[in-house]
Amino acid sequence: MLTKRIIPCLDIKDGRTVKGTNFVSLKDAGDPVELARLYSEQGADELVFLDITATHDRRKTFAELVEKIAREISIPFTVGGGISTVEDVQVLLKAGADKVSVNTAAVKEPELIRTLAEKFGSQCIVLAIDANLVNSEWKVFTTGGRHATDINLFDWAKQGEALGAGEILFTAMTRDGTKDGFDLEANKRLSESLRIPIIASGGAGNMNHFTEVFQQANVDAALAASVFHYGAIGIQELKKELQRQKINVRI
């Protein structure tokens, strides 16, 4: 049985870690290099770094910051934000990223997923999908959750898999920062309809929420930010609780 992964996320704005609610009202959450080192030491399975304003600000992810973080950690490292070309990926992999996350650019040009997967391997390409409920239907949003599309979440996830994405990172915008728990229904539907791993994001508020999303939605990984940044949940304590709940994790 594959182990379930716990993934802290560093949302980066202007070189600092930030966290908001429903993608707005951002507050400072600390130095990303220090947080990355701490999570690596605490036993996180992977780390995700998302430069959340890179696309909106029309600039590239801070490669220098990626390099600083990569030097401090010993776990797989996924980087996203403003990635739209093969060259962007090459820069980030050279800086120390293990995987890259694409979002807005892939929605605008889906063939980008195939291009990157063929060049770097599917295991390197994470399709990040931010989605919100619009008239009771999950719709994809781009540009850090600022722009609505008419694209259905589940259709887009299937297309991303077919084009070569190695994982789906699904953030339920309705749950982001609320601490009300992951959206179990949407995550379950994704995990049942796709063959590639699903990373659930948005809504973690307590340890039981992690148990629920693994047991009821059968996702492969759970990602969270504020509960880790502000010390509400310790990663080792969380893993021990998951182990008590008969969920296979790496201690």
Local structure of 137: helix, strand or coil: strand
Mention every residue, 6+ apart, whose C-beta is less than 8 A from residue 98.
Answer: 76, 77, 78, 124
Indicate which residue of 11, 45, 88, 183 is catalytic: 11
Indicate which residue of 45, 51, 88, 130 is catalytic: 130
DSSP per residue over 48-80, as a string? EEEETTTTTTT----HHHHHHHHHH--S-EEEE
Spatial distance between the Cα atoms of 115 and 136, rounded to a whole number of angstroms: 33
Q: Report residue 120 as tokens.
A: 């770097």
Spatial distance between the Cα atoms of 141 and 144, rounded to a whole number of angstroms: 8
Q: Report residue 119 as tokens.
A: 């060049």
98 is catalytic: no
- In angstroms, the Cα distances linking 234 to 108, 167, 237, 238, 239 are 38, 25, 5, 6, 9
Contact by Cβ (8 Å): 101, 48 = yes
E strand or H helix at 228: helix 226-229
Spatial distance between the Cα atoms of 246 and 251, rounded to a whole number of angstroms: 13
Spatial distance between the Cα atoms of 63 and 221, rounded to a whole number of angstroms: 26
130 is catalytic: yes
Residue 149: CA atoms inside 13 Å, Cβ hemisphere, count? 19
Spatial distance between the Cα atoms of 196 and 235, rounded to a whole number of angstroms: 25
Residues annotated catalytic, as ranges: 11, 130
